[in-house]
A and B are shown apart, each in its own frame.
Chain A
Amino acid sequence: AQSVTQLDSQVPVFEEAPVELRCNYSSSVSVYLFWYVQYPNQGLQLLLKYLSGSTLVKGINGFEAEFNKSQTSFHLRKPSVHISDTAEYFCAVIRMDSSYKLIFGSGTRLLVRP
């Protein structure tokens, strides 16, 4: 079975502070990994993805994530957050087999305070 676990349902942080949103996955086959962001009253927008190659992936809006195969993690980080980063963040995986559909985590709400 495959699952995606986002350990924190909500992460409050002050503006300009660093943040890390955690994501762990379990899969018996190789996976592709994604982070999506959902701003209030909007659909999902792709932040970044890991398919292969360098384990440190840089995305939009200053976010980056590191794929750690041994720990089966894909944590999202930003060195300095803005108020506008307040949103819901979803980690997702795709199994590299015939199913090939996105499996999402339960989401982490990032709340940036002034």
Chain B
Amino acid sequence: KAGVTQTPRYLIKTRGQQVTLSCSPISGHRSVSWYQQTPGQGLQFLFEYFSETQRNKGNFPGRFSGRQFSNSRSEMNVSTLELGDSALYLCASSYEPGDQGEKLFFGSGTQLSVL
């Protein structure tokens, strides 16, 4: 079956704009998590969604938001973009919230560049 799909693969925006990233989980998976990956910082947890509800949230400003639809697809939105938001944004899916290890599957990410 298809893996975790993230679109678009690359995105270029300017400061002050907003952006929406999309993640389609593996079929049957109901939990979706988002991570921000930057050089030197590694991956930092943004939030986790399950059954259209946010279950967990990392330490990011309110400019970062997300949602999950009834088909488990998820979007994350970043408003008023800053240069420091340039990063690879990774999505991961699993059957249940809290599934880890071999039960957690990552997408290839969306590379966001803010100019």
B40 near A106 with CB under 8 A, answer yes
| Choice from A9, A43, A44, A103 contacting B45 with Cβ under 8 Å | A103
Interface residues of B (CB under 8 A from A): 3-4, 33, 35, 40-45, 48, 56, 58, 90, 92, 98, 100-102, 104-109
Residues from chain B with a CB closer than 8 A to the CB of A32 are 100-101
B98 near A100 with CB under 8 A, answer yes
Given A100-B98, A102-B100, residue A42 in contact with residue B42 (CB < 8 A): no
Closest to A41 in B: B108
B101 near A49 with CB under 8 A, answer yes
Report how far A70 CA is from B102 CA in the complex, Å: 27
Closest to B44 in A: A104
Residues from chain B with a CB closer than 8 A to the CB of A6 are 42
8 contacts between A and B (CB under 8 A): A42-B108, A43-B109, A90-B42, A92-B43, A101-B58, A102-B43, A104-B42, A105-B42
Closest to B103 in A: A46
B100 near A94 with CB under 8 A, answer yes
A74 beta carbon closer than 8 Å to chain B: no
- Interfacial residues of chain A within 38-56, with CB under 8 A of chain B in the complex: 41-46, 49, 51
Given A44-B90, A45-B106, residue A106 in contact with residue B41 (CB < 8 A): yes
The 6 closest A-B pairs by CB, nearest first: A43-B106, A106-B42, A104-B43, A44-B106, A104-B42, A49-B101
A43 near B43 with CB under 8 A, answer no
| Choice from A9, A44, A103 contacting B40 with Cβ under 8 Å | A9
B41 near A46 with CB under 8 A, answer no
